[in-house]
Amino acid sequence: MTARKQVGIWSIGPSVYLPSLLFGIGQGAIAPIIPLTARDLGGSVATAGLIVALLGVGKIVGDLPAGVLAVRLGERRAMLFALVVVLAALTACLLAPSVHLLAVAVVLIGISSSVFGLARHAYVTEAIPFHLRGRALSTLGGMQRIGLFVGPFLGAAVMSRLGLAGGYWVHIVVAVAAAVVLIVVREPEMADGGSERAELQPSGKPDSTARIIRRHLPILRTLGFGALLIGAARASRQVAIPLWGEHIGLDPATVSLLFGLSGAMEMLIFYPAGYAMDRLGRRWIVVPSMVLLGLSLVLLPLTSGIATYTAVALLMGFGNGLGSGIIMTIGSDVSPEVSRATFLGAWRLFADLGNGAGPVLVSVITAAATLGAAIAAAGAVAFVAATLMARWVPRHGAAP
């Protein structure tokens, strides 16, 4: 198979960025209501927390199969498949008579998110030339951030009329809209399966996922481990900001507002961060991003009032936003030309494992010591990630 013709960033806006924005809005709309649905079905607070964690489990479970699907179906069909799965899962959430069915539906939502994300990632890697890759993937990450920011507000507006079901209906509507966009708006280069070149065994059959992982293990055990630490530090901030706000006596509405402002800071800088990635190199973004995130996590337990808490939350948003798309970009840089989607599935698995480990780290250390110590430990993880990535990130996109 021949490689896909490369195109400019904005030419893929309707076919990639718009569906990504819509999918992100849907994910943001249901994020706050999944635990509330579990409680409404009779689950305990602990059960509700477990149900939320299953969303991350679904992403982890889906990463490797997502690479296989992208190879066999092509990126566009893989995204459509993910949308069909998420629509079935959302319907199950609406009709779930018990927490058990809700749990299954949430895992399916996580799997569909993984498939959708991998397909977008693989397509942009193939379609966009290297000198624009940082901007293209930071914009892709930015669309997700915008969607997750807008989704809860849109969901809240609909829930004022429909109750908890309103959030799920928002996701259903935007998922259908994303599917329509993918079917109607078809870029000439978005050919089903036309860009993915699978590595063949002597028998003529595509190489297995396990063989591909073994072949690229030197990259995965170095840069992949760094991506895992980045994912853990980033996920930790999502629990650190609200928990510390509650700890210092701020009311939930204030904490929610300031958390939103931190997210808004991330949205403001995703494109400049991508531009810097392309002009200066990946190291000049990933290392400062992790240093600033680590610094903000270490400083957060030292805050005691709304002014200092707000300043640190904004610094945290800036540091995290500076790294928008950086894990995807580094993964694309070191991905092979053949069996690319399969490799990216393994790469994303490391980051998603980190996303799942971050909140667990905070919980375990809080139980053993204090919340402040747990948040500071998450900051230390970010510093370690900065150190390792400074050593291992390729200078010019070549594998280490």
Distances (CA, A) of 2 to 5, 28, 178, 196: 9, 37, 28, 8
Q: What secondary structure letter does DSSP report for 13?
A: I
Determine the pLDDT at residue 6: 64
User: What is the per-residue DSSP string for 214-253?
Assistant: HHTHHHHTTHHHHHHHHHHHHHHHHHHHHHHHHHTT--HH
- HSE-up of residue 246 (Cα within 13 Å, Cβ side): 7
Confidence of residue 134 (pLDDT cuts 50, 70, 90): very high
pLDDT of residue 177: 97
Is 194's pLDDT higher than 50?
no
For CATH 1.20.1250.20, the residue range(s) in the chain are 1-189, 208-400
pLDDT band at residue 205 using 50, 70 and 90 as cut-offs: low
At 164, phi and psi to the nearest 5? -55, -30
What SS3 class is residue 370? coil
- CATH for 208-400? 1.20.1250.20
Give the chain's mean pLDDT. 88
Residue range 339-361: mean pLDDT, rounded: 91
Residue 299 confidence class, pLDDT cut points 50, 70, 90: very high
What is the predicted pLDDT for the residue at 271?
Answer: 92
Mean predicted confidence (pLDDT) in 72-85: 93
Q: Residue 46's pLDDT is what?
A: 75
pLDDT tens, position by position, 312-341: 999 999 999 999 999 999 999 999 988 899
Between residues 398 and 7, which one has the greater pLDDT? 7
Q: What is the pLDDT of residues 85-124, one digit of tens each?
A: 999 999 999 999 999 999 999 999 999 999 999 999 999 9
Six token digits for residue 255 = 């904490």
149 token code pair: 């920011």
> Which of 63, 53, 387, 113 has the alpha carbon at shortest distance from 225?
387
Burial label for 66, CB within 10 Å (0-12, 13-18, 19+), is: buried
Burial class (CB in 10 A: 0-12, 13-18, 19+), 279: exposed
Per-residue pLDDT at 32 exceeds 90: no
The pTM of this model reads 0.88
What's the pLDDT score for residue 5?
59
CA angle (30, 363, 297) in 5-degree steps: 85
Higher pLDDT among residues 206 and 283, named by residue? 283
Pick from 220, 255, 240: nearest CA to 381: 240
Q: Is the pLDDT of residue 207 over 90?
A: no
206 forms bridges with which residues in the sheet? 200
Q: Percentage of the chain surpassing pLDDT 90?
A: 61
Residue % of the chain over a pLDDT of 70: 92
The CATH code of domain 1-189 reads 1.20.1250.20
Position 2 confidence tier, pLDDT thresholds 50, 70, 90: very low
- pLDDT digit string, tens, across residues 58-67: 999 999 999 9
Residue 55: closest CA among 80, 27, 79, 81: 27
CA 32 to chain centroid, in Å, comes to 17
Tell me whether residue 210 is exposed, middle or buried, using C-beta atoms within 10 angstroms of its C-beta: 0 to 12, 13 to 18, 19 or more.
Answer: exposed
